[in-house]
Structure 1
Amino acid sequence: MASYSSFILAIFIAISFSSMNISLAARNLLQTSNPTTPTLPKPTLPPLPTVPTLPQGKVPPLPTIPTLPQGKVPPLPTIPTLPQANVPPLPTIPTLPKPTQPSIPSTIPTIPQFTLPPLPNFPTTIPITLPSFPFFTPPPSKTSP
């Protein structure tokens, strides 16, 4: 829900910045020259304090790494050979007969031709004159003269 409201806010900002007045104001700002800034005097800063020297202490030497005894590594044991199993041969797959496709006829049958009935005659011109309707006629009288 928060991403939806931020999307709506982004669309609203984009639409508001796309108005003509904002575009013209931005163009006017881009076309004007930069104003000259007045030169200000440089303030004098006090000198930085000196860093005191720290006393140098004595660091003890690093311990030496003891040497490990060099022993003889025993040889790796030999891997025994696995017995060879007698695997029966795979059975042969019987061949299937090839399917026969139906033959394609050499002649194409003719399609019967149909005749359409004639279209009715429609008027080709549209009447332009409209009949006059008495829109503003007085209401009928209640008594006869």
Structure 2
Amino acid sequence: MMALLFSSIHVNKGARNLLQTTQPAIPTIPAIPTIPTLPNLPTLPNSMPNLPTATLPPLPSTSTPLPTNPTLPTLPNTQLPPFPTMPTVPKMTLPPLPSASLPTIPTTIPSIPTIPSIPFPSPPPSN
């Protein structure tokens, strides 16, 4: 039994060594190519060129008076007729509501009558 155990351990170690020696080598990673540098871009001027200033025509003089609004005609003071008053309605009196009396619920539970016991016949004597 011990020899069988020893031989299986020996076979397993040999298989493990065989697996370790037959693994492919890790490929080497090629070198990353260098990125070419960008050409120098022209620099922009810090200030905008001077633009010609526009000349506006002179404003009209304000010495001429502005036209005034024409006066509105005055409306005649017309009186409206008085608003008709509503006739007074007599107050209605309602009769008093009848007092609602709820039926009384009994608080005692009636007793349940006992059922008389029925005598069973005795079994016949066994021989």
Larger radius of gyration: 2
Higher relative contact order (CA 8 A, sep 6+): 1
TM-score, normalization: structure 1?
A: 0.35
